[in-house]
A and B are shown apart, each in its own frame.
Chain A
Amino acid sequence: MEMAEAECPECAGKVGLEENTEIGWILSCKDCGARLEVNSANPPKLTVAPVVEEDWGE
């Protein structure tokens, strides 16, 4: 269930946030496909997620 919307910092599109969204979640913008990180849940704020670094992985 989508309870709030935040603005995509890349394309200014609206990104829906679920009720239980937490800081640190990674989302995708449906309009431009940007990978976004939730920086604030209330008020909802998104930033572009960091790019993958060389030592990232499993």
Chain B
Amino acid sequence: MKIGICYTFVSAENKMLLDSAKERGVELERVIDGEAVLELSGNGHGPGAGEIDALVQRSVSYSRGLYLSYYYELAGTKVVNSYNAARICGDKMLCSLELAKAGIPTPKTYVSFVPESARSAASKLGFPLVMKPVVGSWARLVHRINDADALDAELESREEMGNHLQKIYYLQEHVNKPGRDIRALVVGEEVIAAVYRNSTQKSGWITNTSRGGLASKCEVTPELSELCLKAAGIVGEGIYGVDLMESEHGLLVHEINHAVEFRNSFQAMGVDVAGKMIDYLIKTAKN
């Protein structure tokens, strides 16, 4: 049995995964995305591809991760999370659509492709609303739009950006949450832990811990567990961070993260996330 890890850098999470594997007597094969030279015209088997039974995908780059996952899956490696799961989770429009289709409560959301249509979408939602890039993370360019002037400024800025994806306008209702949201960690068929991500003076209305939000323990209730497993189930079994908001009408799932970070929250609270991930990877490799 051979298991591997694909990464860009040896981040704190990746160090923990490498160490946890070692503690279990397993040396992870390393696939460093920046060093990849993928021959597409040959048999499709690059270094290690086809020889690695299971690979945990930890590329910090969404694009590199997608391509490498596809490449390794074609060579017969089980990639956690799969190409298809990452493709859906990493694109907010696809993820919102899949959540809604599965009947999972999720915030009201519209997508438009030109500013005028985005204004029409905004009029359906009302202000304040939230705009997010369809691809991106760490709450970058996630903005609360309080009025039409702010919307115009946002749209004008986005139109000037070079990346075509910034011109896909994803507008979401602003959920009146209690100064926090929930990040639940799903490994296989279990919700192993959850945290509240509390907004702070530093993070403003945003709760993301990479922006200064503070994590505190959240009890995994049967309701939370059931909803998270249902949400994760739409993209297939794997390792996910499910984000939820506590609305006046109950829990809403707004994101599923496919390459979840855990150094500042779960691991710090004593949950052995890395160990559980490695155990899951070993189990996946054996199946």
Contact = CB atoms under 8 A, between A and B. Distances in A.
Interface of A: 22-26, 37, 49, 52-58
A25 B9 contact: yes
B257 A58 contact: yes
Contacts of A52: 138
Q: A-side binding surface: helix, strand, loop or mixed?
A: loop
Interface residues of B, number: 23
B9 A56 contact: no
A57 B136 contact: yes
Contact of A55 (B7, B9, B11, B135): B135
Interface stretch (B45-53, B58-66, B199-207): B58-66
Interface of B: 7, 9-11, 15, 32, 60-63, 135-138, 140, 163, 165, 241, 257-261
Contact of A25 (B10, B135, B137, B163): B10
B260 A24 contact: no
Contact of B9 (A24, A54, A58): A24
A10 to B, nearest CB: 18
Contacts of B62: 55-57
Given A57-B136, A58-B257, 15 more contacts: A22-B10, A24-B7, A24-B10, A25-B15, A26-B10, A52-B138, A53-B61, A54-B140, A55-B63, A55-B136, A56-B62, A57-B60, A57-B138, A57-B259, A58-B138
A58 B241 contact: yes
A24 B61 contact: no
Contacts of A25: 9-10, 15
Contacts of B15: 25
A28 to B, nearest CB: 12
